[in-house]
């Protein structure tokens, strides 16, 4: 979703540069918490990038926080603990991110719940040293998205995945780097490093990247 002066506020921004799409969560005053308007714009931006033929994706966020997760204070008529629109949109956004031939999430600050799920859906997660990660879902009475559970299990095995998803513990970027889940990158270099990586990915044919990912996951 490109910036439009008639659309206020623009909670999610889409920029295209050749094969590279950059999607920015843009609700910094609320720590990019996922209310329905932001989620609807996020899904639309990811769908637009896909429809426009973007081969690689950068997912980033404005402000000091990457994403505070689902906005449980929002009065939008849904419950994050029950199957509902907001939960389905988080899962849809994760699936759209995962469907790109290659993707990089640039996490500059806290990534909580659905925010961590969005970052984990990317092929590569870059994290500033001050970034933190936490899944509070079980304490709030519901499970993380099923696709996120699968991705975590595949990445670190069932025992570690259980701890990451169930304890509600706050993990640092260094904690996750030791598990191979993130690449720690100095905050001033985060966007440049993300762009360097996607430019390298974009140099390869998209169909071969799809085949390589299928081979790796199979």
Where in the chain are the domains? 12-217
- Rounded mean pLDDT, 72-92: 67
Query: Where are the strands (E) in 37-163, listed by range?
Result: 56-61, 102-107, 111-112, 124-127, 132-134
Q: How far is CA 137 from CA 31, 91, 162, in A?
A: 18, 14, 12
pLDDT mean over 107-133: 97
Q: Report the relative pairing of strands 132-134 and 171-172 from DSSP bridges.
A: antiparallel
> Model-level pTM?
0.91
Cβ-based neighbour number of residue 131 at 10 Å: 27
Over the stretch 143-178, which tens digit does the pLDDT of each residue have? 888 889 999 999 999 999 999 999 999 999 999 999
Q: What is the mean pLDDT of residues 92-113?
A: 96
Decide which of 5 and 124 is more confident. 124
Residues 6+ apart with CB under 8 A from 124: 102, 103, 104, 105, 183, 197
Angle between helices 158-166 and 146-156 (to 10 degrees): 130
- Per-residue pLDDT, 8: 56
User: Cα(211)–Cα(201) distance, rounded to whole angstroms?
Assistant: 14
Looking at residues 105-120, what average pLDDT do you find?
Answer: 97
Identify the DSSP state of 143: P
Has residue 4 got a pLDDT over 50?
A: no
The pLDDT of residue 76: 52
- Category of 191 on φ-ψ map: left (φ > 0), alpha (ψ -120 to 50) or beta: alpha
Q: What does the block give as tokens for 191?
A: 């966007």
Fold of 12-217: 2-enoyl-CoA Hydratase; Chain A, domain 1 (3.90.226)
- Which residue do the tokens 């081979």 mark? 215
């Amino acid at each position: 979703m490109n910036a439009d002066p008639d659309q206020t506020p623009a909670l999610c921004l889409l920029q295209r540069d050749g094969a590279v799409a950059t999607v920015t969560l843009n609700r910094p005053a609320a720590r990019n918490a996922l209310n329905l308007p932001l989620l609807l714009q996020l899904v639309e931006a990811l769908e637009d990038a896909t429809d426009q033929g973007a081969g690689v994706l950068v997912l980033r966020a404005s402000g000091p926080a990457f994403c505070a997760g689902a906005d449980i204070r929002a009065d939008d008529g849904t419950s994050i603990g029950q199957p509902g629109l907001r939960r389905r949109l988080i899962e849809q956004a994760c699936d759209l991110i995962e469907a790109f031939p290659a993707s990089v999430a640039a996490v500059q600050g806290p990534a909580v719940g659905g925010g961590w799920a969005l970052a984990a859906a990317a092929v590569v997660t870059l994290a500033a040293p001050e970034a933190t990660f936490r899944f509070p879902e079980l304490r709030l009475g519901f499970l993380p998205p099923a696709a996120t559970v699968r991705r975590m299990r595949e990445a670190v095995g069932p025992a570690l995945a259980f701890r990451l998803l169930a304890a509600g513990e706050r993990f640092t970027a260094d904690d996750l780097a030791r598990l191979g889940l993130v690449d720690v990158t100095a905050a001033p270099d985060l966007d440049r490093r993300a762009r360097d990586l996607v430019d390298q990915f974009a140099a390869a044919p998209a169909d071969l990247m799809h085949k390589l990912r299928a081979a790796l996951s199979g």
